[in-house]
Amino acid sequence: MMRSPQVRNGVVDTPSPSHFHSTVSVHKLRRFNILIIVFRFASFCFSLASAIFMFTNSRRGGSDFPQWHHFDAFRFVAVAGGIVALYSLFEVGASVWEISRGVTVFPEALQVWFDFGHDQVFAYLLLSADSAGTSLARTLRDMDTCKVNNAFCVQSDISIAFGFAGFMFLGFSSLLSGFRVVSFIINGSRFHV
């Protein structure tokens, strides 16, 4: 039932349309937001683990043993993992802020495009770093470096695997933020309900 306009002190007070959400819509929206937080937090954890495993991949055995910072691809893996971990932590905080306060950190139009664009950029950064790391790890295995120092190669492989897992979760997050972009374009709001 719609209220009729009220006249008070000579000013017509027209009721503004309320944004009514059914309890089913509110639950769907809450699940959607929680799913985004889960994907972003998983991306943070795996990217941080990737960076930590690569940064700590040094053996104190002299100059004969390989070290992660001697290889460009492994430096790329370590730095990309750290950058994506920081970005994912920021996005987790922004998502928690959005759920708790009911408002985005940036204006809604900017937030939607910021999330989607940065998810894409950082996902591809992580994918390219881990692909370069995988190529180098295979080369090291072919050169018998891993027979001399197997722990170095195993830890490098673990770091790269964590990076790929971080990419996967950031990719899922990117799909959901892409859905928000489409909803924003169609409905004028990031919410599809």
Q: What is the mean pLDDT of residues 88-103?
A: 90
- Of 61, 112, 72, the closest CA to residue 80 belongs to 72
To the nearest whole number, what is the mean pLDDT of the chain? Answer: 85
1 — pLDDT class (breaks 50, 70, 90): very low
Which backbone phi and psi does 171 adopt, to 5 degrees? -65, -40
What integer pLDDT is reported at residue 148 of this predicted model?
Answer: 80
Please give the full DSSP string across 147-190, using - where no structure is assigned: HH-HHHHHHHHHHHHHHHHHHHHHHHHHHHHHHHHHHHHHHSSS
In 29-186, where do the E strands start and end?
Answer: none
2 pLDDT band, cuts 50/70/90, is: very low
pLDDT of residue 30: 82
Distance CA 172, CA 16 (A): 37
pLDDT digits (tens, 9 = 90+) for 12-51: 555 554 455 566 677 788 888 899 999 999 999 999 999 9
